[in-house]
Amino acid sequence: MKITVIGCAGSFAGPDSPASSYLVEAPFEGGTFRLLLDVGSGSFGALQRHVDPVLIDAISISHLHPDHCFDISGHYVFRKYHPSGQLPQIPVLAPEGADWHLSNAYGTTAPNGMTLPFNFLHHIDGQTTTLGPFAIESKLVSHPVPTFAVKISTADASLVYSGDTGPMDSLADFVRGTDAFLCEASFVESAENPPHLHLTGAEAGAIARDADVPLLLVTHIPSWTDRAEVQRDVESTFSGESVLVSQGDSFDI
């Protein structure tokens, strides 16, 4: 599978990147299946530099903070009012209540809210959902609103995306045996950090170390944070291959 960073700015869109969104592609039925992991603020614009949004087959939303979900509004308008006619419904795997929450955020008064372009499916802790070539296992993580990490597997490769999470003992078990770990590192070790919210680079690195994962992709760094400090934090606990991702990066996994 191939993953392309559409947006990786932590907590809000930054000057160099939209907020969280990742395009994951894999072969399927003679073509390519395209899954978006999160659709954070500003990401719909950057997405169009990489792929025509017509070609998006499914969306997975980790949680309902705006830096992970608000650009569903762009996808909604694009699919409902496309000049070639309304586009086919696509699945959106999201926390329960997402259809109501996102319809309200958009301001739609239609009785069926956002359900014309989207078929909302719910993350359930421990449950696997199949979308195209991807088996997607959902894991409830540690964040102030219901938030799900996902383990995405094809016949050839596997990837875990942390969503937003604080430290959690069971995360390393969830990541173990996969090929790459796309993990948030919003905090730095030198600050006083609130609990149950986000990870530092050192905490992300410790999960990657304990899981023995070959590639750590570090993301969700806010624009007010010194990336070099995050890199040092990561390297304080993880000696394997790690990359602080940037908008436009892509990785074959």
Span interacting with Zn ion, options 87-95, 157-165, 204-212, 221-229, rule CB under 5 A: 157-165
Span interacting with Zn ion, options 83-91, 110-118, 122-130, 156-164, rule CB under 5 A: 156-164
Q: What angle do CA 248, 91, 67 make, to 5 degrees?
A: 45
CB of residue 136 to Zn ion, shortest distance in Å? 19
Binding to Zn ion in span 90-149, by CB under 5 A: none
CB of residue 149 to Zn ion, shortest distance in Å? 12
Query: Among positive and negative, which fits the CA dihedral 41, 246, 35, 55?
Result: positive
CB of residue 172 to Zn ion, shortest distance in Å? 21
Q: Does 67 bind Zn ion (CB under 5 A)?
A: yes
- Specify the DSSP class assigned to residue 97: T
Structure-token match 């890199």, residue found: 231
CB of residue 3 to Zn ion, shortest distance in Å? 18
Q: Does 38 bind Zn ion (CB under 5 A)?
A: no
Q: Does 25 bind Zn ion (CB under 5 A)?
A: no
Sequence-distant (≥ 6) Cβ neighbours of residue 73 within 8 angstroms: 44, 102, 105, 106
Q: Does 164 bind Zn ion (CB under 5 A)?
A: yes
Which residue spans within 2-144 are E strands per DSSP?
Answer: 2-7, 21-28, 31-37, 58-60, 90-94, 118-122, 128-131, 134-140
Which one, 27 or 66, has the nearer CB to Zn ion? 66
For the chain, how many residues are written? 253
127 is written with which tokens? 């449950």
User: How many CA atoms does the CB half-sphere of 130 hold within 13 Å?
Assistant: 5
Near Zn ion by CB under 5 A: residue from 8, 59, 65, 233: 65
Instruction: Catalog residues that contact Zn ion under the rule CB under 5 A.
Output: 65, 67, 164
